[in-house]
Amino acid sequence: MKKYILLILIISSLLYSQDSDGKKVFESYCWGCHHQTAVAFGPPFSEIASKRTQDEIEAYIIEPKAMYKAFGYKRTVMTELKLNDKERQAIAKYILSYKGK
Protein backbone atom coordinates (compact mmCIF):
# COMPACT_ATOMS: atom_id res chain seq x y z
CA MET A 1 0.00 0.00 0.00
CA LYS A 2 2.78 2.41 0.93
CA LYS A 3 4.45 1.69 -2.40
CA TYR A 4 1.33 2.74 -4.28
CA ILE A 5 1.05 5.96 -2.37
CA LEU A 6 4.68 6.73 -3.14
CA LEU A 7 4.11 5.94 -6.82
CA ILE A 8 1.10 8.22 -6.97
CA LEU A 9 3.10 10.98 -5.33
CA ILE A 10 5.93 10.59 -7.83
CA ILE A 11 3.58 10.55 -10.80
CA SER A 12 1.63 13.57 -9.65
CA SER A 13 4.80 15.54 -8.96
CA LEU A 14 5.99 14.72 -12.50
CA LEU A 15 2.68 15.82 -13.95
CA TYR A 16 2.74 18.91 -11.83
CA SER A 17 6.25 19.89 -12.81
CA GLN A 18 5.42 19.48 -16.50
CA ASP A 19 2.48 21.73 -16.04
CA SER A 20 4.51 24.38 -14.29
CA ASP A 21 7.20 24.13 -16.99
CA GLY A 22 4.55 24.94 -19.58
CA LYS A 23 3.42 27.86 -17.49
CA LYS A 24 6.99 29.10 -17.15
CA VAL A 25 7.53 28.94 -20.92
CA PHE A 26 4.26 30.77 -21.39
CA GLU A 27 5.25 33.51 -18.98
CA SER A 28 8.72 33.96 -20.46
CA TYR A 29 7.97 33.72 -24.17
CA CYS A 30 4.30 33.95 -25.09
CA TRP A 31 2.55 36.14 -22.57
CA GLY A 32 3.13 39.45 -24.34
CA CYS A 33 1.20 38.23 -27.37
CA HIS A 34 -1.07 35.41 -26.15
CA HIS A 35 -3.30 35.12 -23.13
CA GLN A 36 -4.99 31.96 -21.92
CA THR A 37 -8.59 32.78 -22.67
CA ALA A 38 -8.63 36.40 -23.87
CA VAL A 39 -7.67 37.65 -27.31
CA ALA A 40 -4.37 39.52 -27.18
CA PHE A 41 -2.11 40.27 -30.13
CA GLY A 42 -2.40 36.58 -31.06
CA PRO A 43 -5.30 34.15 -30.53
CA PRO A 44 -6.07 32.86 -26.99
CA PHE A 45 -4.86 29.39 -25.97
CA SER A 46 -8.45 28.22 -25.47
CA GLU A 47 -9.15 28.93 -29.14
CA ILE A 48 -5.91 27.32 -30.35
CA ALA A 49 -6.64 24.23 -28.22
CA SER A 50 -10.09 23.87 -29.74
CA LYS A 51 -8.73 23.40 -33.26
CA ARG A 52 -5.12 22.17 -33.16
CA THR A 53 -3.25 19.05 -32.12
CA GLN A 54 -0.06 18.80 -30.06
CA ASP A 55 1.97 18.29 -33.28
CA GLU A 56 0.40 21.24 -35.06
CA ILE A 57 1.07 23.56 -32.15
CA GLU A 58 4.69 22.41 -31.92
CA ALA A 59 5.17 22.83 -35.67
CA TYR A 60 3.81 26.38 -35.50
CA ILE A 61 6.19 27.28 -32.69
CA ILE A 62 9.19 25.86 -34.57
CA GLU A 63 8.50 27.77 -37.76
CA PRO A 64 5.48 30.09 -38.01
CA LYS A 65 6.62 31.09 -41.49
CA ALA A 66 6.28 27.54 -42.77
CA MET A 67 2.88 26.99 -41.15
CA TYR A 68 0.83 30.18 -41.27
CA LYS A 69 -0.80 29.53 -44.67
CA ALA A 70 -1.90 26.05 -43.66
CA PHE A 71 -3.37 27.57 -40.51
CA GLY A 72 -5.41 30.06 -42.55
CA TYR A 73 -3.45 33.26 -41.94
CA LYS A 74 -2.57 35.76 -44.68
CA ARG A 75 0.70 36.65 -43.00
CA THR A 76 2.59 35.93 -39.81
CA VAL A 77 3.98 38.34 -37.28
CA MET A 78 4.77 35.75 -34.63
CA THR A 79 8.39 35.64 -33.54
CA GLU A 80 10.34 32.47 -34.28
CA LEU A 81 11.23 31.30 -30.78
CA LYS A 82 14.16 29.07 -29.98
CA LEU A 83 12.67 26.64 -27.49
CA ASN A 84 14.22 23.28 -26.70
CA ASP A 85 12.19 20.08 -27.19
CA LYS A 86 11.13 19.90 -23.58
CA GLU A 87 9.98 23.50 -23.44
CA ARG A 88 8.10 23.15 -26.70
CA GLN A 89 6.31 19.98 -25.61
CA ALA A 90 5.46 21.52 -22.25
CA ILE A 91 3.99 24.70 -23.73
CA ALA A 92 1.97 22.74 -26.31
CA LYS A 93 0.50 20.62 -23.49
CA TYR A 94 -0.16 23.77 -21.51
CA ILE A 95 -2.05 25.29 -24.46
CA LEU A 96 -4.09 22.09 -24.88
CA SER A 97 -5.05 22.18 -21.20
CA TYR A 98 -7.20 25.22 -22.09
CA LYS A 99 -9.42 23.22 -24.41
CA GLY A 100 -13.05 24.02 -23.69
CA LYS A 101 -12.23 26.91 -21.32
Q: What does the binding site for ligand HEC look like in residue numbers (CB under 6 A)?
A: 25, 29-30, 32-34, 41-43, 48, 52, 57, 60-61, 64, 68, 71, 73, 76-79, 81, 91
| Distance (Å, whole) CA 90 – CA 37 | 18
Q: Which is nearer to ligand HEC, 76 or 97 (CB)?
A: 76
Cα separation of the two ends of the chain: 36
Q: Which is nearer to ligand HEC, 13 or 53 (CB)?
A: 53
| Distance (Å, whole) CA 85 – CA 42 | 22
| Minimum separation from the CB atom of position 14 to ligand HEC (A) | 21
